[in-house]
């Protein structure tokens, strides 16, 4: 008999002794358990039971975990348990969005009173919050001020002089600025795209459109920035379109880390300012567009906030005669192979800004909406 056979024989004898010891201990434990009162049957309540548990653990370790197969089974059990925790635990991406009802606001005074009840200007998950008072107008830096001065001194006067009918004016941030084919890249350089050609196809009579449109947008703007702009030159007496089309708030949520309630207050502050200054114009509030911070473009926490914001904007619009709500969600989202809702990156490549295809699809729906509106003049 060689040394390997001797070692195997010794190991078999050792395991046999462990089995016998386990059987004896099990029988003793069973006898002890049966002698207990019924309400304690099957429960480990004394020192002997604790010793029995320790023995069982030692037995399992000696009998099974000393083999490669046993360790593999333990690993599989561990992975399976972890998977079950992930599957059945509550969705960590789910967040509770604090939101009061602001739909009955009728004036800037109402807004100021409503602002008092906002629980926090900042998002609940914001480590660093740059969200200021949503109703306090805020001027941008010099680079963005140049864009404002261009719109005020050149863009708006050219539009007023060149059209017989002022139909539609867009107000917003980079999504609105990009309509005219210009944007600022990461190196802070102005770039130009074919988006302006798409804009002209729908909102320039010279370009083949049926609506005279003007886009007043500055990249990175939040609601307080737009509020400052329209109080400082971008709503002159000469600019009186039938419709102001408003899309603002996504930068408040993303860059400013503002709470959903704060975003709603900021957007409604702009709406009230427009309605006060331009009593003959309608205001269409475009719901915030889908936006994803996930690499796979799936809609997550931000989307839950956007839904809460859009719901309030829609309720407000439905309760006021001169306001309408427009939802463009279905244009920019799709289902992935797993059935999850995600941003359609074919038409919104950076998961925030439409490309020319996305703009074309969106503009078509905007034009359809425009022609359903009724005007007093």
Are 119 and 82 in a shared domain?
A: no
How high is the pLDDT of residue 193? 61
Domain count, the chain: 2
How high is the pLDDT of residue 92? 39
Tell me which residue of 282, 251, 253, 290 sits closest to 172, measured CA to CA: 251
Are 199 and 259 in a shared domain?
A: yes
The rounded average pLDDT for each run of 10 residues, N- to C-terminus, in the chain (377 residues) is: 47 50 47 42 43 55 61 61 44 61 89 85 84 94 90 96 97 94 53 76 93 96 98 98 98 94 97 97 98 91 94 97 96 93 94 94 98 83
Instruction: Confirm whether 100 is domain-assigned.
Output: no
Instruction: Confirm whether 101 is domain-assigned.
Output: no
Strand bridging mode 333-335 / 182-184: unpaired
Torsion of CA 312, 327, 252, 116, to 10 degrees: -10
Instruction: Confirm whether 132 is domain-assigned.
Output: yes
Contacts of residue 298, defined as CB under 8 A and 6 or more positions apart, other chains included, come to 292, 336, 340, 341, 342
Instruction: Confirm whether 99 is domain-assigned.
Output: no
Strand bridging mode 168-172 / 243-247: parallel
Instruction: Confirm whether 375 is domain-assigned.
Output: no
Are 79 and 112 in a shared domain?
A: no
Question: Which among 55, 88, 121 is the end of a domain?
Answer: 88
Q: Against a cut of 0.75, is the pTM above it?
A: no
CA distances from 275 to 105, 169, 244, 249, 355 (A): 13, 14, 10, 18, 31
How high is the pLDDT of residue 60? 55
Are 309 and 160 in a shared domain?
A: yes
Task: Answer whether 180's CB lies under 8 Å from 221's CB.
Answer: no
Are 176 and 285 in a shared domain?
A: yes
How high is the pLDDT of residue 36? 41
Instruction: Confirm whether 377 is domain-assigned.
Output: no
Are 57 and 113 in a shared domain?
A: no
Give the relative orientation of helices 260-277 and 301-318 as an angle to the nearest 10 degrees.
30
Helix, strand or coil for residue 349?
coil
Instruction: Confirm whether 145 is domain-assigned.
Output: yes
How high is the pLDDT of residue 114? 86
Residue 148's domain comprises: 108-370
Are 271 and 320 in a shared domain?
A: yes
Are 190 and 283 in a shared domain?
A: yes
Cα distance between residue 365 and residue 225, in whole Å? 27
Are 70 and 115 in a shared domain?
A: no
Are 139 and 69 in a shared domain?
A: no
Q: What is the DSSP letter of 44?
A: -
Are 70 and 133 in a shared domain?
A: no
Cα distance between residue 41 and residue 270, in whole Å? 71
What are the DSSP E strand ranges found in 232-303? 243-247, 282-286
Cα distance between residue 152 and residue 171, in whole Å? 13
Cα distance between residue 131 and residue 129, in whole Å? 6
Instruction: Confirm whether 94 is domain-assigned.
Output: no
How high is the pLDDT of residue 196? 80
Rg (CA), the chain: 33
Are 82 and 125 in a shared domain?
A: no
Cα distance between residue 238 and residue 262, in whole Å? 32
Tokens 């971008």 map to which residue? 234
CATH assignment at residue 120: 3.40.50.1110
């Amino acid at each position: 008999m060689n040394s390997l056979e001797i070692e195997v024989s010794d190991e078999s004898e050792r395991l046999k002794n462990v089995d016998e010891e386990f059987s004896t201990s099990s029988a003793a434990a069973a006898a002890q358990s049966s002698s207990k009162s019924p309400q304690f049957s099957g429960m480990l309540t004394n020192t002997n039971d604790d010793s029995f548990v320790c023995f069982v653990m030692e037995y399992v370790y000696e009998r099974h975990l000393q083999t490669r197969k046993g360790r593999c089974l333990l690993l599989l059990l561990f992975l399976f348990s972890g998977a079950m925790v992930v599957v059945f635990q509550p969705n960590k991406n789910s967040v509770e969005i604090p939101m009061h009802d602001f739909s009955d606001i009728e004036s800037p005074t109402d807004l100021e009173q409503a602002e008092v009840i906002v629980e926090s200007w900042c998002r609940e998950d914001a480590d660093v919050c740059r969200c200021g008072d949503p109703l306090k107008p805020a001027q941008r830096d010099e680079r963005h001020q140049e864009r404002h001065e261009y719109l005020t001194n050149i863009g708006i006067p050219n539009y007023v002089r060149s059209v017989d009918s002022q139909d539609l004016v867009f107000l917003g941030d980079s999504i609105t600025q990009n309509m005219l084919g210009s944007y600022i890249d990461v190196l802070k350089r102005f770039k130009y795209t074919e988006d302006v050609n798409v804009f002209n196809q729908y909102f320039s009579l010279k370009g083949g459109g049926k609506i005279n449109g003007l886009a007043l947008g500055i990249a990175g703007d939040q609601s307080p920035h737009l509020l400052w702009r329209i109080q400082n030159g971008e709503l002159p007496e000469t600019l009186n379109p039938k419709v102001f089309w408003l899309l603002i708030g996504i930068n408040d949520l993303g860059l400013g880390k503002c709470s959903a309630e704060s975003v709603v207050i900021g957007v409604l502050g702009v709406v009230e300012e427009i309605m006060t200054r331009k009593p003959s114009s309608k205001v269409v509030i475009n719901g915030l567009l889908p936006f994803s911070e996930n690499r796979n473009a799936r809609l997550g926490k931000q989307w839950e906030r956007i839904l809460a914001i859009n719901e309030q904007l829609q309720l407000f619009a439905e309760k006021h005669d001169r306001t309408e709500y427009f939802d463009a969600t279905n244009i920019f989202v799709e289902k992935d192979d797993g059935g999850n809702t995600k941003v359609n990156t074919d038409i919104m490549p950076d998961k925030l800004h439409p490309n020319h295809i996305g703009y074309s699809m969106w503009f078509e729906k905007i034009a359809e909406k425009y022609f359903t509106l009724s005007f007093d003049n």
